[in-house]
Each structure stands twice: as structure tokens, then as C-alpha cells.
Chain A
Amino acid sequence: MPLLAAEQVSFPVLPALIVVPLLTVVALLFVPRHRADYLKAVALLGTTITGAISVQMLASFDVDDPGFQFVSRATWVEDLGISFFLGVDGISLFLVVLSGILYPIAILATEPHHDAKPYYAWLVLLQAGSMGVFMALDLLLFFLFFEVVLVPMYFLIGGWGHGNRVYASMKFFIYTMAASALMLVGILAVVFLTAAETGVTTFDVTQLAGASALSDTAAMLVFLSFALAFSVKVPLFPLHTWLPDAHTEAPTAGSIILAGVMLKLGTYGFIRFGLYLFPEAAWNVRWLFITLGVIGIVYGAVVATMQTDLKRLVAYSSVAHLGFIVLGTFAFNPQGIEGGILVMVNHGISTGALFILVGWIYERRHTRQISELSGMQKAAPVMAGAFTFVMLSSIGLPGLNGFVGEFLVLLGAFNANRYAAVIATTGVILAALYLLWAYQRTFHGTPTETDLEMKDMTMAEGLSLLPLLGLIVFLGVYPKPMIERIEPAVEALVAHVDAHVADFADTEPEAPAERTDAGTLTDALHEAEEKKEGK
């Protein structure tokens, strides 16, 4: 297995990322249910330790190694070749770290208001699940985590959500479970068809990708069964209808995690399992996903513009952002995929912060209707400032984090299909339209009396938002450390695709692999234009 790092770290970092939250859940069970403050402290402590471990892992991540690091594996089901196989590479690294830091922030920034004990237990359990899903390198283990995260989220939406919460949670659960049902059959098919060729039954992704023993038709069918599950999770355009309901009815912490972490399961799945296991099939249907991604960008933006509910607006903006990720992924070049990964992380940060802010507005005003809010800037100038900041990052203002990812995606998409890139660019313009317009209607204008009575952000709230604001600036100004960690793994993936797709090199004559450094972005754009003129 050349893809595995030879070095075995002494401290089992990755299992710890799952075990610490689980232990925290156990600890929570022993805290009296009426002491919401203790419960919050324990939950915060557990998730913060997990976050700290993930950051420590980020610090000791080997920048130049394109393979899986911190690998940890143990046999789980012997006769079927299933193992507890965890590893992190540049593709999953930042998603793990994002899961590590979003949970403590979500816990710090929000209050459950009732039944604190089960609330924190589900939330921390969800952290264990989302860690597992990004680290699993065994197909079945991935599926297990992919499915099991539904349960805590289901309870969080149903138990602590707003309005039509039971309906929303049920729809969320059944919709996503139905979509991934066929993926299990697909997983079994790829494992047993490979076993028929190689004689080894294994669920190890690295071995399955190396074997690639499936016929074209089988690979296509299995890829589509995976793609259906991921498309619903993303969600891609016609399959997105669960998202506005789930996001809007979920409690604030649920929305943060849903947008920040859980939507990424789909896009991550496409990169890690779609492209890696079925390069040829994914390549052959890339037009479908580029089209759906572009539709998602425009459709999400247009529908977001029409929303009257602030939270629903943010929810639809996710459809647009996730469209960018899919577009970048199926551009099949390093810039596109790297951009997609960057958008995943940046969207988690920006949209998480937006949901926190919308949640605070709702707590103060008990409404999220844009028409019932106006001139809040007068009463809450600090909050207005924070909102502006986060909003601009979400729009993709250069210098803030949102820009880098979207720019790389558009660059990659331009190389793959310039029309798709042109249409997708309108998504950026529309994002400015719906967010600025919403901001204008709610924070500007003449405040009513209730608007004027609104409390500004407290110090504690400000502090809980500060890490996200810091990341927004840092990743916007200096994305290089992030990109150089992502790049080797993405290039290895593109090389893997290149090696397995017959007509790949012809259609991508000069995939500029070195152009993704932030400093050379303009060069890359320049070169792309030259290429256009040359044709």
C-alpha cells in the first residue's frame, strides 16, 4: 500500500477524535439534568479537547505527503474484510479540523432553553459521528458514520427546533436514508465484484481504488448509487427540498452543524469515494454534475433572493455555495477540486457564523421575517458590524475567505468548460444581491420601537464569534498554508484519475498543476485566457 504513510504515530490521534466525544457523552449522562450550566461546561470541555486534538493534528500534518497520515486500523469483521480504518489526507484534513472547532463554538454560542442534558448529549455524539465520517477509509465504516449522524441530528431538529420541527426532522431522516439505501447495495457490489477479480474481500478504499476491477457498466451503476446518496446530502438541485425545511426548523446549533459539517458529507463523498473509486464513471457523467451544480448556484441564489425569512435565505444560499463545490469537483482539475475543498471549509465558517447571528436576532426579536425587522443597526451596531463582515465573506469579497475558494473553482471550471464558469459567475453577483439586499432591509432603514429596544451583542457572544471572524480574515489574506496542505492529495487524486481514464489527458492538454498557489492565481487566469485566444 504505497498510499499509506509508513510512519505510525504513537498517540492514536484519529481514534481519540472519536473517543473523546463519546466519553464526553458518557460524562454528560452523570451530570444532573437540571444543571444546564454544568452540562454546558462538560459538553464544551469535551468538544474543545476534541477540537484541540484536531488542531494539534493539523500542526503535525506532513505538508509534502500526499498519502494518508496518522493511519490507524484494527480488524472489525474478519470474514468480510472490514476494518476500523482511519486516516487523514489533505482532502479530509481541514474538514476534520472544521468539525473540531465548529462544535465548541456552536455550543458556546447557543442555548437549548429546555432539556439541556439530551441536547448536549446528541450534539456531542454528533461530533463523534462527523469526525468518523471524514476519517473513515473503510467503505463500510464510512457508510456507518454517514448514516449514524442522522440520528442525533434528527433528535436535535425534532426536539429543539422551531415551528414544524417534527415534520422537518422526519423529512430530513427519511429523505437522506432513502437516498443512501442504494449506496449500501453499491458498496457491497463493488466489494464483491472486486473480490471476484482479486480473490480478496476487503472494504479498504485504498485497495479497492487500486484494483478497479469493475466493468464499465457495473462501475457506472455503482457510481450512480453513490452519487444519489451524495447528491441528496449536498444537496444538488432537484434533490434539495429537504434542506430549507431542516435548516429553518433546526435549532441554531443544529443549523450550524448541518451547514458547516453535514452538507460536506456529500461533497466530500464525491471527491473521496466518487472520483477516487470510479474515476472513469465519474468522468463520463461529469456534464450531468457540472450542469446540476451550475443550476444549483443560480437557482439557490435566485430563490434566496425571494425569501422573506432570514434563516431560509441563508439556507438557500447554501444550495448555491454547495453548487460551487460540485462544479469544482467535476471540473476534474487540481484548481477546481482544491477550490471545492476550500469552499467546503469556508462555507462552514461563513454560513456557521451567519446562522449564529440569525439565531441571536431570533432570540432577541422572536421573528426572522425580514419585513418585521428594520434599522437594527441603530440599536445593535456591533452586531451589524459582525453581520456585515460575515456577509461579505459569504459573498466572496476578495481579502476574505470566501473569495479564494470560489475563485479557484471558477478557474478550474473555466479550464473544463468556460460556459459553465460564465454562468456560475452570475452566482457570485446574485450572492451580493440577496445578502446585501437582506442586510439593507433588516439593518438599515428606519427602526421601529421594538427595533430600538434590541440588545446589542454581549461580550460573551462576541467572544464566541471571534474565532470564526479571525479565520475569515486569516484564510482570506493568507490561504497558502491551507492550499499547500490540500494540494499534494488533490494532485495525487487527479493523477489517479488520469491513470484510469483513457481520454483524460486528451481533453486536458495542459492542466496547470502548479498554478494553485495564491500568489500565482493571476498567472493562471492569464494563461487560461491565452489558451482561449489560441483556440
Chain B
Amino acid sequence: MFAQAATSPEVVWSLLWPLLFLSIGGVLLVTVTSVIPALRRPGMPAALTILIGGASFVSTIPVWRRVADTEGPTTVVAGAMSVDAFTVVMTAIIAASVVLTALVLDDYLRREGLDGPEWYVLLLMSASGGVLMAAADDLIVLFMGLEILSIAVYVLAALHLRRTDSQEAGFKYFVLGAFSSALFLYGIALVYGATGSTQIDQIAANLRLPNEAGLTPIEDASLLLAGVALLLVGFAFKVSAVPFHVWTPDVYQGAPTPITGFMASAVKVAGFAGLARVFVISFSEFGSGDLIQDDWRPILAILAGLSLVLGAFMAAGQSDVKRMLAYSSIVHAGFLLIGVHAAGHGDAGVADAGGRALVFYLITYAAMVVGSFAVATVVAGRGDADHGVDAYRGLFRKHPALALMMAVLLFSQAGIPFTSGFMAKFRVLGAAVDGEAYVLAGVAMLAAVVAALLYLRIIVAMFLDDADDEGGDEQVAGSVRKIDVPVGAAISIVLAVIVTIGLGVLPDLGRGVVAAAADVLVNR
């Protein structure tokens, strides 16, 4: 027995490539750029990062073939990580965010005079943490992923050396993030104490069959429930659900804008991936037939409702676009929580609909939020400080294409038909209504209307607020500062818009992918 325990577990490396590209790529990047000065020249680290992120993204395809088509879901590294359709989809989203962020980041750093490979290294490290988090099949591994992700992002948030806002943001994020990590860790300990395992499948199995495998039945559930509550608080911090959102507006506003885009997309995706996996799979049912969902789903519903309502109302009062988008990300968190809420439903059909809604929402949300922050990066100009709604005034005259794409992204976030944002909201609401959560669905729709006000204010500034509306095209166009859109940012924005409109008009694209990923969550 001892000899066996001492040998390291067999590792199926071929299934880990998406993760390995990101983490080893990050380590290699920091090494080679410190050894070879030529690779430190502006543009080079970005190119390498795009290459690494792209490799990670592409390598998800063969892994997908294996786990979704031929071999089925599996766990690697002695049950530490599960490689399944859900993992692969989340990994692909995170890898895509890395590429899109790196595209924007290159010109941003040149513009701000902040060159350095460390941005990209941290980006890759945090992405690898995110992937680990999405793939974790063990709460300890999940926590490792969370920490790798978070620590890298704390630093990234503070990395704009010339702006005190940025450092303040990094510090705030760090303090609150560390606090939430501590709660999270304590939650893991309590869950372990209650169920005898930290492994996600095993927790579920132990809860379901308490008398088998020599485990004591859980008679007093208070330990377990306290652990579940602490885990939920930890996740709620990460996904910025009200009332654990207070860091979000400050950090989103202060962090360098491309990094804010990364935080809003990849970090949130990782957070929701972890949340969905732990709650939907682990905390599903007691052996006695009681559903443990009945304990956490109402809390989730309240968190979702609060996020929707408070996020929408707070957003309407803001005048800084980054802060607006921060509050809007809280509203989106509310919608995503409804998806998790439905995915945890006892009825298989509802749970399936909820899982699909969640996965679809995450894909579309990541694209639109990266695109929106890329536009914000471009519009703000040198100094990364000009984020008021006024900065968008007359953007349609200065740069019609940019204004139109921003309008598409904002309308999508508002949930206007024929954009992916509508289909995402629609799927989430459909799952909620299917699960008879009518009040929650109604609250969500009304919050969406209030939130629409905030997107409309930006759109009004871009299209309708001109210095002089009767003056004719030439006169106005001559009097304003020209906006240059760097190539990298342009590619990033165009890709985001393509995804947004593509999935809005043809929502059945990738239906199989979404269904397979959701299947992992709800049909274990």
C-alpha cells in the first residue's frame, strides 16, 4: 500500500495541453524575455502571448473530440481535475479572452509608455489559474486555481504605474479578495469535515449514499450548511454578486482598461464555472431524499435578485463608463446566477435548460464584455483616465464604425433582439420560468429595462449628442479630435461583434457544444 501511495499518479498529458500551454507558456515567456532582450521589444511579448493563447484555444479541439465524442468525460492527475465538455468549453472561453485581451493590451502599453513582458506573463498565469478552477474536480485544486488566478489579477490591476487609481484598485481588490479566499478556504474545511471528502464527485456520492463506504451518515447538517454558505460567499465575491460586490466598481474603474475587460470576462467565467461545478454537482441531494438544493437555491435566488435590482439601479446613476460597465457586470452576474439557480433544480429538464443557459450566457457575455472594454480602451485615449460619458459624445461623427460596433455590443448587453445578449437572457429566463421561478424572471426583466437606461445613455452620447445637430457633416467632423483605432483593438472588437451578432441571429450555432457542456453539470 505504501509503495503504491508513494508513486505519483499517472498523468494523461495529452488531455492537459490547453492548460499546459497557458501555464508553461507563461513561465517560458518570463524566462525567454529576460534572457533574450530582442524578445522584450514592444510587440514581441504580445505576439508570443497571442500565439500561446491561440495554441491553447486550438488544442481544446482535439481534447473536445476525445472527451465529448470518443472517450467521454474523464478525470486526470488522480481525480484532481476533470476533463469534460464543460471544462473544455470554459477553457476555450478563457483562452479566447487571453488572445483578445493581448490584442488590445499591446497598443495600450505603447500608448501609456508601459512596455514590459510582465503584463503578459501575469495574464497567462491568471488564465491558467482560471482554467484550473474551471477544471477542478477537487475543492483544494479549485482553491489553488482561484489563488493563481486572483494573485495574478491583483498585480495586473495595480500595474499601471503612473495612475494611483490603478494601485488603489489593486490594493482594494487584494484585501477583499484575500478576505474572500479565507472564507472560501474555511468553507472547504467545513465541507470536508461534514462529508469526509474534498473531491467534488465524492462529496456528491457521500451525500447521496451516506451509509456506504463506511462513512457515517450526516445527521447534523449544520456543519455542511455552514460550509456551503461560506463557499457561496467566496464565490459571490469572485463573481461580484450583491451584497459582495462592493469592490467591483472601484476595481473595474481603477484597473487598466484592457485588464478590466479580462477581469470581467475570464475571471468571471472561471468564477461561474467553479460555482456551477461545485454547487450543481456536489451539493445535489441528501441520502434521505431531501434535496440540499432546497437550502442553497433560495439563497442563490436572493443573491441574483439583489444583484439584478441593485446593479441596475446603481448603474443608472453613474457618469463614468467603466463604472457603468462594472455595475452592468453585476447585473449580468444576476442573470448568470439565475442560470445556476435553474441548473440546480431538482427536475432534470429544468436543470438541463439552466445548464445550457449558463454555458451560452458565459460564451456570449465574455465576447461582448471584452469588446466593450476594448472600445473603452480606445476611446479613453492616452492616460487611460477619460472614461466619462462625455468622452463618447459625438463618437458617431468621429468614427462611425467604432460607434456602431459599440452600439451593437451595448444593445446586446441590454438584451435587444437579434443580438447574442437577447438569446442569452432569453435562455436564462426560459429556464427560470420552466422552473416556475416567475418572480425571479419578472424581477430580471424589469432590472434589464432599468439597466437599458445605462446603455442608452452611452448610445445617446455617441449618436445623438452633437455640438450642433443642424450644422451638417463637415462642420462638426472638422471640430473634433480624431480617434485612431489600433489594429489589435480593431481585430478584437470586430471578433467580439461577429460573435455577438452571429449568436444573436443564428443562436443554434454550436448547439451541440453548449448541450454537451451543460450535460456534464446536470447529468452526472
Tell me the A residues contacting B by CB distance below 8 Å. Answer: 33-34, 75-80, 113-115, 118, 140, 143-145, 147-148, 150-151, 154-155, 158-159, 165-166, 169-170, 173-174, 177-178, 181-182, 184-185, 188-189, 191-192
Contact = CB atoms under 8 A, between A and B. Distances in A.
A158 B460 CA distance: 8
Interface string B413-433: 000111000110011011001
B212 interface: no
Interface in B434-461: 434, 438, 441-442, 445-446, 448-449, 452-453, 456, 460
A191 B463 CA distance: 38
> Top 8 nearest A-B pairs by Cβ distance?
A144-B417, A181-B445, A188-B433, A158-B464, A148-B417, A178-B449, A192-B434, A185-B441
Interface stretch (B66-74, B235-243, B507-515): B507-515
Given A147-B416, A151-B411, A185 B442 contact: yes
Interface stretch (B117-125, B270-278, B465-473): B465-473
B356 interface: yes
A33 B473 contact: yes
B417 A184 contact: no
9 contacts: A115-B473, A147-B417, A170-B453, A174-B452, A181-B446, A184-B429, A185-B433, A188-B433, A189-B438
B464 A159 contact: yes
Contact of B430 (A80, A143, A148, A169): A80
Contact of A143 (B417, B441, B473): B417
Given A114-B472, A144-B422, A174-B449, 16 more contacts: A78-B511, A113-B470, A114-B473, A118-B400, A145-B417, A147-B417, A147-B422, A151-B411, A154-B456, A170-B453, A174-B456, A178-B449, A181-B448, A188-B441, A189-B433, A192-B430
Which among A118, A151, A155, A181 has the highest number of chain B CB atoms within 10 Å?
A181
Contacts of A159: 463-464, 469
A231 B497 CA distance: 34
B508 A155 contact: no
Given A114-B470, A114-B473, A77 B507 contact: yes
A177 B430 contact: no
Given A184-B429, A189-B433, A166 B465 contact: yes
In terms of DSSP, what is the predominant structure of the interface of chain B? helix
Contacts of B429: 184-185, 188
Interface in B393-425: 396, 400, 411, 416-418, 422-423
A158 B462 CA distance: 11
A276 B452 CA distance: 31
B456 A173 contact: yes
Contact of B418 (A113, A118, A144, A169): A144
Given A34-B473, A148-B418, A158 B463 contact: yes
A314 B520 CA distance: 59
A147 B473 CA distance: 30
Given A79-B356, A148-B417, A185 B470 contact: no
Contacts, number: 94
A452 to B, nearest CB: 27
A185 B460 contact: no
Contacts of A181: 442, 445-446, 448-449
Contacts of A34: 473
Nearest to B419: A148
Contacts of B427: 80
B62 to A, nearest CB: 26
A140 B426 contact: yes
A239 to B, nearest CB: 15
A115 B468 CA distance: 13
A346 B522 CA distance: 55
A77 B426 CA distance: 12
Contacts of B422: 144, 147
A174 B453 contact: yes
A143 B430 CA distance: 14
A147 B430 CA distance: 17
A185 B438 contact: yes
A154 B511 CA distance: 33
Nearest to A192: B434
Nearest to A145: B417
B183 to A, nearest CB: 35
A192 B465 CA distance: 43
Nearest to A179: B449
Contacts of A192: 430, 433-434
A185 B464 contact: no
Contacts of A76: 507-508
A184 B463 contact: no
Contacts of B464: 155, 158-159, 165-166, 169
Contacts of B460: 158, 166, 170
A114 B515 contact: no
B60 to A, nearest CB: 23
Interface string B277-298: 0000000000000000000000
Contacts of A114: 469-473
Nearest to A116: B473
A155 B404 CA distance: 12
Nearest to A151: B416
A140 B507 CA distance: 13
B435 to A, nearest CB: 9
A522 B358 CA distance: 61
A198 to B, nearest CB: 14
A321 to B, nearest CB: 28
Contacts of A178: 446, 449
Contacts of B473: 33-34, 114-115
Contacts of A170: 453, 456, 460
Contacts of B469: 114, 159
A80 B433 CA distance: 13
A165 B356 CA distance: 41
Given A140-B426, A145-B417, A174-B453, A182 B463 contact: no
Contacts of B356: 79
B426 A184 contact: yes
A180 to B, nearest CB: 9
A113 B469 CA distance: 10
Contacts of A80: 427, 430
A144 B504 CA distance: 11
B19 to A, nearest CB: 30
Contacts of B507: 76-77
A177 B452 contact: yes
Contacts of A144: 417-418, 422
B445 A78 contact: no
Nearest to A189: B433
Contacts of B515: 79
B508 A77 contact: yes
Nearest to B396: A118
A114 B472 CA distance: 6
Nearest to B469: A114
A361 B453 CA distance: 35
A34 B474 CA distance: 10
Given A158-B464, A165-B464, A79 B418 contact: no
A140 B418 CA distance: 11
Contacts of B441: 185, 188
Interface in B230-248: none
Contacts of A189: 433, 438
Contacts of B465: 166
B356 to A, nearest CB: 7
Contacts of B396: 118
B515 to A, nearest CB: 7
A170 to B, nearest CB: 6
Contacts of A147: 416-417, 422
A80 B515 CA distance: 12
Contacts of B434: 188, 192
Contacts of A145: 417
B456 A148 contact: no
Contacts of A150: 416
Nearest to B504: A144
B416 to A, nearest CB: 6
